Amino acid sequence: VSGGELFKALKAGCSPQKIVYAGVGKTPQEIEFALRKKILFINVESYQELEVIDKLAGKLKLKQKVCLRLNPDIDAHTHKYITTGKKETKFGLDEDTIKKIISHRKKFKNVEIKGIHIHIGSQILELTPFINAISKAIKLIDNSDMDMEYLNIGGGLGIRYKKDEQPLDIYEYASRIKKLIGRRKIRLIMEPGRFIVGNAGILVTQVLYHKSALGKDFLIVDAGMHLLLRPALYSAYHEIMPLNKSRKRKYHEFDIVGPICESSDFLGKNRKLPEVKPGEYLVVFSAGAYGMCMAFNYNAQPRCREVLVMKNRFYEIRKPENYQDLISKDKIPPFLK
């Protein structure tokens, strides 16, 4: 959804012909970068954006394939900050605008409209919103006078964060989609992110202090909202457990909080955990998605290392930041020296 993500995907070895570029605020520079890299599709979010893509493609003397992102006005039944398929959100095109683009398609000489894209939100645990959105997209394809080859159904597949949550049944999802498409000759594109990596990552944090105040027990740890923003931003729940289990320890109710100077800086509230001493470690589960990519340096806190583990092998894939990293891009203007 940005030129930076496109750059990182290419550097990681992704084939340009397996990349689709979405995002509601693509700059002309980012669009030109995508065009030069000859990616598979650009997902169009507005009429004006399509005009910019067409103009830049013409300048480069090439034709770019695009999909039109439909806003189906579907409630995804997820957190309001990560629902993207309702009419009041900034995402996608309404049906009337898509019909207008299709009727004006001869005007856009440097793009090829090849399909419809939808993405109604993130962390969705029900099938019905997906099926309703896909049904609207298929109906739009059927009623157009174009031979559209692709349907990009986006991502948003939910995972289990709590023990009592049920992740989306991917097999039922596939069966329902297959039934909807029927004999239509449509190629499907999916964008699962969290579903692949969410449960695969953990955040390991060290306990600094056990603080009791006014009947409340806090475990103050060295990781906070600067490393895992989801609890502060979405009131999201992550399972938390001591790294070393012991049946002999008594359980207490704790708030697990970080070092940042904000009351919203917590990893978990009212959690029943065994007694943990300073210097011991806690594990925050399901931190593989929207962890490091949302981390930041508030309060001049360096970001932590990332380690990839595969069976009995491990490798540091991102070095921890140090204090020098925090000022490496800063400059003092001459008139202040």
- Rounded Cα–Cα distance for residues 286 and 11 (Å): 26
Residue 14 annotated to the active site: no
3-class secondary-structure state, position 68: strand
Tell me the HSE value of 158 on the side-chain side, using a 13 A CA sphere: 24
Q: Which long-range contacts (CB under 8 A, 24 or more apart) does 82-90 make?
A: 82/121, 82/122, 82/123, 82/234, 83/120, 83/121, 84/119, 84/120, 84/121, 84/122, 85/118, 85/119, 85/120, 85/121, 85/129, 85/133, 90/24
Structure-block tokens of residue 227: 């490393």
DSSP secondary structure letter of residue 330:
-
Residue whose structure tokens are 């013409």? 58
3-class secondary-structure state, position 62: coil
Among the listed residues 14, 67, 261, 304, the single catalytic one is 261
Which residues does the annotation mark as catalytic? 261
